[in-house]
Homo-oligomer: A and B are copies of this chain.
């Protein structure tokens, strides 16, 4: 977890959302050069404001040569990547060579695939893979309540129920998120993603959930047990807060150090404006809930 010692250009392989840009800003603010490789159909167009290139998923050779030409020795992968249709991937020469390996890894789940990518970058191409939060610790959820609103007794029960549910589906490498309301788990995240799950909560009959007027229910996102934390931590952002608010939830709980939040102050400001709590649970709190 040492930061700031490395001075070479930081490579950022960018999935969707604002986090890749937050990582780039953090590196630049410490005087470190960056180069972003945006994954087509995933990365924000905003990467164009930074030194960057684009590569489609499957164009592994191009991705590697972009990073090497930019002089990167360290690389970080950040931002959600939509699961591609395997039959529609157009690999480049290197991608084609590696395809059988990745198809095999994918059979081991997302986690197996990500480990394979890390191994490829590190062992075969001499790039060091670091976590986005090794660039800037501030990107991680801190411990404790971040907002004016704090979880009440009912919320504590919902946090516990959703923690248990998120843990169970994480064990199976299915998803990272769950929503509980008044003690009942009302939504589980599989491949649809957190945003779509939250929209679904908002479309449930009002008797099953909270409302904007009388908020109830909690979104919990947890790392999958045993997952490669360098490349696939759960993330929450301003958009997550806004969708949770629209779904009538009272708040959001993550594990401190176990979720990327981008700028915690910006997140808390939005949550305060909308009347939600955001809390970072200690690892011990999470463990106690799983007993």
- A residues engaging B (CB < 8 A)? 82-86, 88, 106-107, 109, 164-165, 168-169, 171-172, 174-175, 178-179, 182-192, 196, 200, 204-208
Contact = CB atoms under 8 A, between A and B. Distances in A.
User: Could you say which of A107, A192, A205 has the most chain B C-beta atoms within 10 Å of its C-beta?
Assistant: A192
Contacts of A83: 184, 207-208
- Copies in the assembly, this chain: 2
Nearest to A85: B207
A103 to B, nearest CB: 11
5 contacts: A169-B188, A184-B191, A185-B191, A191-B208, A196-B200
Contacts of A88: 207
B200 A192 contact: yes
Nearest to A183: B107
A187 B183 contact: no
A171 B172 CA distance: 13
Nearest to A187: B190
A229 B126 CA distance: 57
A192 B172 contact: no
B172 A84 contact: no
B188 A175 contact: yes
Contacts of A183: 106-107
Given A107-B183, A184-B83, A191 B204 contact: yes
Contact of A172 (B106, B165, B196, B208): B165
B174 A171 contact: no
A83 B84 CA distance: 37
Contact of A190 (B164, B171, B188, B205): B188
